[in-house]
Amino acid sequence: MASGPHDPRSSWWSAGDGADHGSTSRPNGSHQAHMPPPTLHHSPPDPSDTRSRSLPLDSPWALPPFGAPTPDEGSSTPEDPAAEPPRQPSAGRHPYARPYGGAGAEPRHSAGHASPGDPGEAYPGWVPEAPPEEPDEPAWPPRRLVNRPDKLVASGPPRTPPRTPSRAHTPPAPEWDRPGIRVEPSIPAEPEAAPETEDAPRSGITREPAGPYAEPGDPYAEPAGPYAEDVPVEERIGGPPGGRPARPSRPDILVASGPARPRGGGRGRHHRDQADPRPPRRPRTPRRRPGRGLLTPILVVVVLLATAGLGLVIVNWVNSPTSSGLRLAAGDGGSGDQAFVAPPGISGNGSSQVLNAVTSVGSTVVAVGSDTTSPVPRPLFLVSPDGGASWELGRVTGPAGYQPAGSAGRVAGGAGRWLAAGTEAPGSAGASARGMWTSADGRSWTAVDPSRLSVFWNGDRITDLARTASGFVAVGSTTLQDGGYGPVAWVSPDGQSWSRVDTGQIGATDKVRAIRAVVAKGDAVVALADPGKGDTTSVILRSPDGGRTWLRTAAALPGVRPEPGALAVAAKGFLLVPTLQKSNAGEVRVYCSDLGDAWSQCGVIGGLGREATGVRGLATSAAGVAAVAESGWERYGVFTSTDGKNWTESTDLGQIPGTLRGLAVTDAGMLVAAGDQRAGGLDNLPVLMTAAKGKPAAPVPLDEISGLTRSARETTALVAAGNSFVAVGSVKGDAGIWTSATGQNWKAVTSPALGGAGRQALNDVAHGPHGWLAVGSTTADSAFVRPLLATSTDGRSWRHAPESPALGASGRYAVVPRVVAAGPKGYVLAGDDSGPDGVVAALWFSADLRRYSRSAPESLPAGGADVRIEDVVATPDGFLAVGGSGTAGRTSGVVWVSRDGLNWTARKRVIPEGARSASLRRVLLQDHEVVAVGSATNDKGVDQPFAAVSGDDGVTWQYSWLPADAAATVLDMTSSDSGLVAVGSYGPPATADSAVWTSPDGRDWQRHTLTGDGMAGDGAQWLGAIAVIEDRVVALGRSTTYTSDHLTLWRTSFSR
């Protein structure tokens, strides 16, 4: 099934469009798309993010066909008027109260004003989100940092990302008592040997002498030995990337201080040794040979005396303790694209791309859209500098410190300035998820700094753009206190600095609601808006000053729906054409207005056949006005006019497959249409067609555009058991499983359990007493996501898990297990359950991989509400789960424990001292202690990873910071008998590099900077999964830029 939904009633309307297109009123949606769980904020975005790919934050599907025209020289783009179902925002901040300005106030400006809250989507059927309750728990116990966070120093200049100021507002109240609006008069894969058995002999690891440590009886004791100048040792692995000088370090060995541990077998995030009844080992004290105690100081004195006259400073070197314990050899990293391939027989590439809008200015044509093929969505900018003859991928840059939004829904331009914007309300994700870009030539685009978008509130939705003589105007809707929505507009001289024209300055909400379409001729602006409740006649608004002040016209045109594409600019004024309707004679009325105030019928578009549905949209250029009409199923014709009064059928476009969403006409008369289509059952590909005047439409060869095509592939988890590595994820729209005995050569598993109708993906895998269990999701259609479970006894042959009522999802939008852990008692699965009543945590238990039971709501703390479980580990007492709870920016770490895997009890919330927000990401068992890692936000607003260690099953915790002098994120962690290794990213989200941290015990950590192909450089890199077998360490990740996207594979070993 295609990744992008299509409306079976029409090839024009956006997928998932639930509106009644035969009525001017906006119905209450009877169905809501599933709401993704409240994702905890991490930088960069978690590559294992399991939100439904059918409904990303910047959804490419809620977009209409064809764009509204721009003034004189181009056209802006249309918007689908259909109400979108509400969804749960993925991350961000919730609002604080703010007074709402009344009517007559001046437009609000970006600088120094409060930003919005998160009222959610502003459409029928929306249910406002209840504010989260504060945890009903005692105050945090005193905490003590074990290491010295003030002394954590890493190489390279500080790269603190800019952050949007914390702002808030209260959504405006509906103005029912207002008198109304002023009304005017009228690495390559290859075969490998079979994995060794569990009983195969294993090589040892060279152990270093242990340094002096505190007695293990005091869990909060400081290390007895001195700090190594209180500065973590950092080593770079491999050669430096281009443009970065190499440090004079030892690239062959990474050393972490701490006691050595005996070697062990295969380990992964969910394959961990259970605690045994023996007490913890006391670290050994190094022995000294007789006579060495006297010889060393004598040598030191001699060396000092010999070098004093030369001014050499070697005292610090002599006095510094020698690092010992966990050692990592220099690793090798590179692309994993050829290692993690699809099994034979899978066609296509799983691509998910769509073009939402297109506009033309002179000979430059720009089509915009989105690409959600990769875990990191990207906006699409396709540019033609020669009137549609040739096409290339635009260049996109953004401000440091932000992960750019992934979808462009509207575009407008003219006179050397271009603007593109996303059309989704970002919700609690805030301004950074809004998405707005500017350009001087249509080819090179720069993302607007989110800190300059404070006048766009979290519940605001942009529906259309237009270029004016004084800059730009954007229109849309804002969420009101009662859950309804009202009109809103924004104006800008350059697309960077914005002023807000609020609901009270446009009209009372009982008269006008969301503005759906806008066009401009100079600074004269005309817009179409939804009528107030109970009315069926669209509202025509106009602004004489570029959108700063608004008036409602007295015109009431029957049958006109407020839809983008219904308005256009003509040589002597404005045109309005009712869309999707025609008379019995096959005619469509055309209305004209000089200034946008008084409207009258001025022409007719005729000759439409019985199968025609009417005009789909208008576009304007110096060549005149073009109207595209659907003459049959996926067949289109073009009518043209120079004045809006006399129309001629100029071109039969023939059959255009898929859904058309944008239309533009160049000054030379070349018509350009954009949209998307299904391909190969799973792929959703962009559509771009051109038609010269009088000629049929021809497709643009998109496969020849460098950097446009991507293949869907993702590795989400890596686990080692015995002598085998097992990785899971997705490839080309199907679930993917790969196995390896070495970590270098990987073999794709072929199994019916991994494919089927729709899209499948695996999120995690675990090995336990009854074999392997992999968990994920399957999307049989665009609206519902169901659990996917696969089992194996040997890691090579996989089959579907038996059907179980406990895994059912009747009446729910999405039920997705995201993590799994195994222990002696069985297997625990944890994930999310999304439905009309919100999102709750969901947990299941199986003792034998044949029967599954789900934890009842009364068996979960607070019924599982407002909690996202990120990881689970088996303990000697049962199981322990970690995650986060609260609104983004105000979260706290969650710890649940269970003896049977079904009944869960909450421990006290976890948050390190000095942090205002925290969440836990990974947890494992190491030497009878639980070690968890997560991310915390300090008082300066900087995200930093931390670790928490508990020796009493999560009752009390010791905290320590992982070294980072810039934003950093830990994404996975594994344990070995030599210590702990965690992986993630270091640096601002859009420019982060892969990072590794090591620790002997979970308390003292060192960061190691990685270099080389795919580990650092342009774009964003991270390692998201890691596992170890004996002394072999393997990590998987990703390296992505705007024009490239690759899996990465990094291998190293513990030094002998």
The single-letter DSSP state of residue 753 is G
What phi-psi label fits residue 251: left (phi over 0), alpha (psi between -120 and 50 degrees) or beta?
alpha
What is the average per-residue pLDDT within 670-680?
88
Q: Are β-strands 236-237 and 1006-1010 bridged in parallel, bridged antiparallel, or unpaired?
A: parallel
3-state secondary structure (DSSP) of residue 508? coil
d(CA 370, CA 686): 9
Contacts of 541 (CB under 8 A, 6+ apart): 487, 506, 507, 512, 515, 526, 527, 528, 529, 550, 551, 552, 553
Amino acid at 640: T
pLDDT score for 683: 87
pLDDT 10s digits, 876-892? 999 999 999 998 778 99
Amino acid at 660: L
The CATH number of the structural domain formed by 108-119+347-704 is 2.130.10.10
Phi, psi dihedral angles at 324 (to 5 degrees): -150, 165
Q: Highest mean pLDDT: which of 13-17, 73-77, 853-857?
A: 853-857
Q: Using 50, 70 and 90 to split pLDDT, how confident is the model at 264?
A: very low
H/E stretch holding 307 reads helix 292-307
d(CA 503, CA 480): 9
How crowded is the C-beta side of 101, counted as CA atoms within 13 Å?
Answer: 15
Q: Using 50, 70 and 90 to split pLDDT, how confident is the model at 12?
A: very low
Which is more confidently placed, 292 or 1037?
Answer: 1037
Q: Are residues 1023 and 1009 in contact, defined by beta-carbon separation less than 8 angstroms?
A: no
pLDDT score for 887: 81
Residue 222 has pLDDT above 70, yes or no: no
Residue 709 has pLDDT above 90, yes or no: yes
Nearest C-alpha neighbor of 62 from the set 18, 2, 122: 18
d(CA 170, CA 173): 9
pLDDT score for 173: 56
Which is more confidently placed, 89 or 558?
Answer: 558
d(CA 260, CA 253): 16
The single-letter DSSP state of residue 145 is B
Peptide bond into 44 cis (omega under 30): yes
pTM over 0.85: no
What is the average per-residue pLDDT within 713-738?
96
Q: Are residues 348 and 679 in contact, defined by beta-carbon separation less than 8 angstroms?
A: yes
Residue 385 has pLDDT above 50, yes or no: yes
Range in 509-523, 1008-1022, 1028-1042 the model is least confident about:
1008-1022
pLDDT score for 313: 26
pLDDT score for 510: 87
Nearest C-alpha neighbor of 411 from the set 139, 57, 75: 75
pLDDT 10s digits, 584-632? 888 999 999 999 999 999 999 988 888 888 898 999 998 899 999 888 7
What percentage of residues in the chain have a pLDDT greater than 90?
50
3-state secondary structure (DSSP) of residue 501? strand
d(CA 901, CA 920): 19
pLDDT score for 275: 39
Which is more confidently placed, 665 or 67?
Answer: 665
Which is more confidently placed, 60 or 1049?
Answer: 1049
Q: Using 50, 70 and 90 to split pLDDT, how confident is the model at 170?
A: low
Q: Cα 690 to the chain's mean position, in Å?
A: 33
Q: Highest mean pLDDT: which of 83-87, 139-143, 265-269, 295-299?
A: 265-269
